[in-house]
Structure 1
Amino acid sequence: MSPVIIVTGASRGLGAAIARQLLSPPIAANVVLVARTESGLKSFADEFPNQVAYLTGDLSTNRVNEDAIKLAISKFGKLDGIIFNAAILDPIAKIGKADISEWKKLYDINFFSLIVALKEAIPYLKETNGKVVFISSGAAHHYFYGWGAYGSSKAATDHLAATLAAEEPDIFSISLDPGVMDTDMQIDLRDKHGSEMSPSEHERFLKLKSEGGLSPPEVPGNVAVNLVLNGGPEVNGKALRFTAPELAEYSK
Structure 2
Amino acid sequence: MAPVIIVTGASRGLGAAIARQLLSPPIAANVVLVARTESGLKPFADEFPNQVAYLTGDLSTDKVNEDAVKLAIAKFGKLDGIIFNAAILDPIKSIGKADIAEWKTLYNINFFSLIVALKEAIPYLQQSRGKVVFISSGASHHYFYGWGAYGSSKAATDHLAATLAAEELDIFSISLDPGVMDTAMQDDLRDKHGTEMSPAEHDRFLKLKSDGGLSPPEVPGNVAVNLVLKGGPAVNGKALRFNAPELAEYAK
Instruction: Give the TM-score range, shorter chain.
Output: over 0.9
In the alignment, the residues of structure 2 paired with residue 87 and residue 67 of structure 1 have an alpha-carbon distance, to the nearest angstrom, of 17
Which residue of 2 is the match for residue 41 of structure 1? 41
What TM-score results when the alignment is normalised by the length of structure 1?
A: 0.99
In the alignment, the residues of structure 2 paired with residue 39 and residue 93 of structure 1 have an alpha-carbon distance, to the nearest angstrom, of 30
Which residue of 1 is the match for residue 30 of structure 2? 30
Question: What SS is found at the alignment partner of 2:125?
Answer: helix
In the alignment, the residues of structure 2 paired with residue 39 and residue 142 of structure 1 have an alpha-carbon distance, to the nearest angstrom, of 34
Which residue of 2 is the match for residue 64 of structure 1? 64
Aligned residues of 1:130 and 1:172 also touching (Cα < 8 A):
yes
How big is each residue's C-alpha offset from its partner over 1:56-75, in whole Å with a ceiling of 9 and x where there is no partner? Answer: 00112342121100000000
Q: How many residues were matched structurally?
A: 252
Aligned residues of 2:173 and 2:236 also touching (Cα < 8 A):
yes
In the alignment, the residues of structure 2 paired with residue 63 and residue 202 of structure 1 have an alpha-carbon distance, to the nearest angstrom, of 35
Aligned residues of 1:227 and 1:250 also touching (Cα < 8 A):
yes
In the alignment, the residues of structure 2 paired with residue 58 and residue 117 of structure 1 have an alpha-carbon distance, to the nearest angstrom, of 14
Give the counterpart letter for 1:106 in structure 2.
L
Cα distance, 1:37–1:62 mapped onto 2, change above 3 Å: closer
Which residue of 2 is the match for residue 154 of structure 1? 154
Question: What SS is found at the alignment partner of 1:82?
Answer: strand
In the alignment, the residues of structure 2 paired with residue 61 and residue 191 of structure 1 have an alpha-carbon distance, to the nearest angstrom, of 28
Which residue of 2 is the match for residue 236 of structure 1? 236
Question: What SS is found at the alignment partner of 1:25?
Answer: coil
Which residue of 2 is the match for residue 131 of structure 1? 131
Which residue of 1 is the match for residue 192 of structure 2? 192
How big is each residue's C-alpha offset from its partner over 1:86-107, in whole Å with a ceiling of 9 and x where there is no partner? Answer: 0000000000110000000000
Which residue of 1 is the match for residue 98 of structure 2? 98
Which residue of 1 is the match for residue 177 of structure 2? 177
Equivalence map 1:193-232=2 (5 Å): 193-232=193-232
Aligned residues of 1:37 and 1:57 also touching (Cα < 8 A):
yes
- The ranges of structure 1 where at least 4 consecutive aligned residues each deviate by more than 6 angstroms after the TM superposition are none
Which residue of 1 is the match for residue 120 of structure 2? 120
Which residue of 1 is the match for residue 249 of structure 2? 249
How big is each residue's C-alpha offset from its partner over 1:25-66, in whole Å with a ceiling of 9 and x where there is no partner? Answer: 000000000000101100000000000000000112342121
What TM-score results when the alignment is normalised by the length of structure 2?
A: 0.99
Give the counterpart letter for 2:112 in structure 1.
F
Over aligned residues, Cα RMSD in angstroms? 0.5
Give the counterpart letter for 1:87 in structure 2.
A
Which residue of 2 is the match for residue 54 of structure 1? 54
Aligned residues of 2:176 and 2:239 also touching (Cα < 8 A):
yes
Aligned residues of 1:2 and 1:30 also touching (Cα < 8 A):
yes
